[in-house]
Amino acid sequence: FNFQLSTFNSHTDTAVILFTSGSEGVPKGVELTHRNLLANVRQLLAKCDLLDGDRFFNAMPLFHSFGLTAGLVLPLVRGNYIFIYPSPLHYRVVPTVFYDRDCTVLFGTNTFLSGYGRKAHPYDFRSLRYLFAGAEKLQQATAELWAQKFGVRVFEGYGATECSPCISATTPLEPKHGTAGRFLPGVEHKLEPVDGVAEGGRLFVRGPNIMKGYLNADANAKFHAGGGWYDTGDIVSVDAEGFVSIRGRMKRFAKISGEMVSLTAVEDALAGAFPHYGLRCATAVVTRPDEDKGEALICCTNEPKLTLAEIREAIKAKGLSNLCVPKEIAVVKEIPKLGTGKVNHRELHAMVQPAK
């Protein structure tokens, strides 16, 4: 066989092409350069006091940027040991192998970490120093589970495939729970006002970790027309200390009676609110057109006994308005998930739409 290796010409050459998760639309191909990946590694290392003896355990998919950059490139660049496990879904096996390999650093989504926490023995994570959650919002119940069962604090990162992926993160020195931490070094940001949103705005970021561009010509042209600013599509707020709070995706806001309602905020209010139905009880929120109010919220669940009265109480307990109460419940066999563990809202939305 006559194989010819491609030549590395420049830090601006494309290193990888990764596709976005597709949770809300058709996945887009993202070109990340060598500079993008290495810049994000440097940004993360500037925030985390990793040791030469740290041992990384990575079960996250390498075809997603979180698993690739944080779980593979970072320890390789730093010279740390890495154990790569082929599936994040083996909730009992992962803790056992983590224990066996005496690892100290673990990555996961809220979904995966919840699974490991429930299935693991308290001693399985005795050597764990750093636990990072990303790709979806960390739920309070998951954070409390790890704190109480293992004595471990979960740190949370925020980002996007287009950002290689990390934009901000909480750390031991900056551990403000309920936020996504402060922006990483070198990340510029600006917030654009959004009608109907009083606190926060639409987040745009720029920096050395921001992608080269999209494979799709139209999406690529739109990105480059912005002068290097990447539109995250997220509504966020930044407090006086610089901590970032994610209010939700722009696409995950509904306009009800003229008011903007965050579907993410509603989902967060319902997460873990029904322990009497067991750990399998899951909820997610989508919308349908509504003649009277413009849009209506639909609570999708795999628990057939869940009632609107219980949902209303959970919403009220979190201090949300009546506009956040779903109009109806749709019972599904399972809440569809992506490979990253995130809810596949696009598929779920299609499942509950009225037949035409």
Mean pLDDT per 10-residue run, the chain (356 residues)?
58 92 78 96 94 97 93 96 95 97 96 93 96 89 93 94 96 87 96 82 96 92 91 92 88 81 90 88 90 88 94 92 92 87 85 72
Where is the domain boundary, 226, 250, 274? Answer: 250
267 lies in some domain: yes
5 lies in some domain: no
Say if residue 262 is in the same domain as residue 240. Answer: no
What's residue 8's pLDDT? 61
Per the structure, how many domains does the chain have?
2
348 lies in some domain: yes
- pTM score: 0.79
Give dist(CA 296, CA 247) in Å, integer. Answer: 19
146 lies in some domain: yes
**What is the secondary structure of 228-254 as a DSSP string?**
T-EEEEEEEEE-TT-BEEEEEEGGGEE
Nearest to 77 by CA among 34, 47, 109: 34
Say if residue 172 is in the same domain as residue 239. Answer: yes
CATH of the domain at 192: 3.40.50.12780
Say if residue 217 is in the same domain as residue 296. Answer: no
CATH of the domain at 314: 3.30.300.30
Q: Both tokens of residue 9?
A: 């010409």
By DSSP bridging, strand 105-108 and strand 55-58 are parallel
Range of the domain at 230: 14-250
Say if residue 183 is in the same domain as residue 126. Answer: yes
What's residue 6's pLDDT? 59
6 lies in some domain: no
